[in-house]
């Protein structure tokens, strides 16, 4: 799901329909008589007979323009030989309407679409096919690793895994650095120009998306016999060899919201930032900004979707605001009808240049929260891990209980799960989203 996707297709279709329905004004002049023996009768209708049999009349043509009391009718089409009739050509204005638009405007239009929508729009025209179907606007992602001596190593992406609302990008290969040597990681969106040869490319514009200092606290979220997984917030997942702390691979999870703009419209030293215009204050509704939310929630890894859900009309009352957070209960622990199974185990497949494996008990959460105007309010895609609960979370289930938590400056997500040993399956029995009151006040111009 991508916000604005349906609205874009409606406006795009309406613009083309308005072009097709635009009437063509005929040349004003004298009405040409219709062929036949009889004389024109009143109202411009000609009557006559041929061979004693009545000739069928042609239906009246609707007037194409009105000027005072005079009516102007389109002229009858003369009979032509099919072999000599020229082919009808589309007017140059229709053919070149999109081609005449600057590339910056086309990039702006397509920046509202996710990769699946870009694939659909690529069938509209050759121009959109070239823009949208060539590696998603010809965009790739690069990493620059900096060490404490000032050296830099740039890595090109090895693989991108696209999902409904996010993409996971992986880099693997010899980096010649261990994790303790890295001082910062920089993620760039790169648009490369394609030359005449399909495989020939030259360096293009680099747009800085994230620059992350590695000296911040790092969370270990899983391991197997070969690698350990470090979660470097907000979205980096770093796999290091257990033997020597060398870099096995780096993955980053990116939400689709404004991803094209972030990947193209930033600068090499500064990320893209969009000005936010808060809506005018609405004092008629005391709970404005606390109701009407819509949540699209996905759990997935690099290979498959584990769980997906769409939840509407989420709300919170003023008395439920605690510790600077607004609570939105998505799946209630006491309502058994809302509980749902997960389609697979919680795990993260990984792959380096030569080896591959699976780390259990971790995956990626992709969250899209829309406000009551159906505009993106909080969009997150980040690694997450599952942990054993300290106490039983529900007395309705006898299996082992687990929790999954995610938190950043804008909000928090809490999940409670039960493991059914016989079915070898997780059940999600509680899902709660917490939003920062500061974020709500800023977005809706409130003062909760």
Mean pLDDT of 344-366: 94
Check residue 105 and give its pLDDT: 78
pTM: 0.70
Q: Per-residue confidence at 130, pLDDT binned at 50, 70, 90?
A: low
Position 229 pLDDT exceeds 60:
yes
Write down the pLDDT at residue 422.
87
What's the mean pLDDT in 86-97?
52
Q: What is the pLDDT of residue 139?
A: 80
Whether 252 shows a pLDDT value over 80: the answer reads yes
Of the candidates 349, 382, 353, which has an alpha carbon nearest to the alpha carbon of residue 224? 349
**Taking 90 as the threshold, does the pLDDT of residue 419 lie above it?**
yes
Band of pLDDT at residue 99, cut at 50, 70 and 90: low
pLDDT of residue 376: 92
Mean pLDDT, rounded, of the chain:
78
Which 3-state string (H, E, C) describes the chain? CCCCHHHHHHHHHHHHHHHHCCCCCCCCCCCCCCCCCCCECHHHCECCEECCEECCCCCCCCCCEEECCEEECCCCCCCCCCCCCCCCCCCHHHHCCCCCCCHHHHHHHHCCCCHHHHHHHCCCCHHHHHHHCCHHHHEEEEEEEEECCCCEEEEECCEEEECCCEEEEEEECCCCCEHHHEEEEEEEEEEEEECCCCCCEEEEEEEEEEEEECCCCCEEEEECCCEEEEEECCCEEEEEECCCCEEEEEEEEEECCCHHHHHHCCCCCCCCCCCCCCCCCCCCCCCCCCCCEEEEEEEECCCCEEEEEEEEEECCCHHHCECCEEEEEEECCCCHHHCEECCCCCEEEEECCCCEEEEECEEEEEEEEECCCCCEEEEEEEEEEEEECCCCCCCCCCCEEEEEEEECCCEEEEEEEEEECCCCEEEEEEEEEEEEHHHHHHHHCCCC
Of 16-25, 194-203, 395-404, 423-432, which range is least confident?
Answer: 16-25
Query: Which whole number is the average pLDDT over 224-230?
Result: 95
Percent over 70 (pLDDT), the chain: 68
* Residue 43 banded pLDDT, cuts 50, 70, 90: very low
Evaluate the omega torsion of the peptide bond into residue 234 and state whether it is cis, within 30 degrees of 0.
Answer: yes
- Which pLDDT value is given to residue 41? 44
Stretch 224-242: mean pLDDT, rounded?
94
pLDDT for 298 equals 96
- Start-to-end CA span in the chain (Å): 31
pLDDT given at position 344: 82
Please say whether the beta carbons of 327 and 314 come within 8 A. Answer: no
pLDDT band at 434 (very low <50, low <70, confident <90, very high): very high
User: What pLDDT score does 53 carry?
Assistant: 46
The pLDDT of residue 1 is 44
Per-residue pLDDT band at 333 (split at 50, 70, 90): very high
When comparing pLDDT for 84 and 386, which is higher?
A: 386
Higher-scoring residue by pLDDT: 56, 443: 443
Whether residue 91 has pLDDT greater than 70: no
Which carries the bigger pLDDT value, residue 165 or residue 393? 165
pLDDT at 208 over 70: yes
- Which of 32-41, 116-125, 359-368, 432-441 comes out lowest in average pLDDT? 32-41
pLDDT of 287 above 60: yes
Tens-place pLDDT, residues 100-110: 777 677 777 77
Higher pLDDT, 48 or 264: 264
Place 264 in a pLDDT band, splitting at 50, 70 and 90: confident
């Amino acid at each position: 799901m991508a916000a604005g996707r349906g609205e874009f297709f409606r406006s795009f279709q309406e613009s083309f329909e308005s072009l097709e329905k635009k009437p063509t004004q005929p040349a004003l002049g004298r009405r040409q008589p219709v062929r036949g023996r009889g004389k024109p009768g009143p109202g411009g209708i000609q009557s006559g007979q041929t061979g004693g049999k009545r000739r069928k009349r042609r239906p009246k043509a609707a007037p194409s323009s009105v000027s005072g009391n005079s009516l102007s009718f389109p002229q009858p089409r003369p009979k032509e030989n099919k072999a000599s009739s020229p082919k009808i050509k589309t007017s140059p204005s229709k053919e070149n309407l999109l081609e005449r638009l600057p590339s910056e405007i086309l990039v702006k239009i397509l920046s509202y679409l996710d990769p699946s929508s870009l694939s659909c729009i690529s069938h509209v025209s050759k121009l959109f096919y070239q823009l949208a179907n060539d590696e998603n606007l010809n965009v790739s992602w690069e990493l620059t690793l900096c060490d404490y001596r000032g050296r830099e190593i740039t890595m090109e992406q090895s693989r991108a895994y696209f999902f409904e609302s996010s993409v996971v990008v992986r880099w693997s290969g010899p980096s010649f650095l261990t994790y303790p040597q890295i001082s910062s990681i920089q993620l760039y969106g790169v648009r490369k120009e394609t030359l005449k040869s399909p495989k020939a490319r030259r360096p293009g514009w680099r747009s800085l998306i994230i620059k992350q200092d590695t000296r911040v606290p790092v969370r270990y979220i899983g391991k197997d016999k070969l690698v350990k997984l470090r979660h470097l917030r907000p979205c980096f997942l770093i796999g290091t060899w257990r033997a020597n702390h060398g870099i096995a691979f780096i993955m980053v999870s990116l939400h689709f919201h404004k991803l094209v703009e972030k990947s193209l419209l930033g600068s090499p030293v500064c990320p893209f930032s969009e000005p936010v215009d808060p809506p005018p204050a609405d004092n008629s509704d005391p709970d404005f900004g606390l109701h009407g939310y819509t949540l699209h929630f996905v759990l997935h890894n690099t290979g498959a979707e584990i769980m997906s859900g769409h939840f509407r009309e989420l709300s919170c009352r003023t008395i439920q605001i605690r510790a600077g957070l607004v609570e939105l209960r998505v799946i209630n622990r006491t309502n058994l009808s809302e509980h749902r199974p997960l389609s697979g185990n919680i795990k993260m497949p990984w792959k380096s240049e030569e080896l591959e494996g699976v780390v259990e008990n971790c995956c990626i959460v992709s969250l899209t929260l829309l406000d009551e105007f159906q505009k993106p309010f909080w969009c997150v895609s980040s690694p997450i891990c599952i942990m054993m609960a300290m106490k039983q979370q529900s007395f309705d289930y006898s299996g082992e209980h687990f929790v999954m938590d995610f938190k950043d400056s804008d909000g928090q997500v809490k999940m409670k799960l039960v493991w059914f040993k016989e079915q070898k399956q997780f059940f999600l029995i509680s899902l709660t989203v917490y939003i920062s009151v500061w974020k709500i006040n800023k977005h809706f111009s409130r003062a909760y």
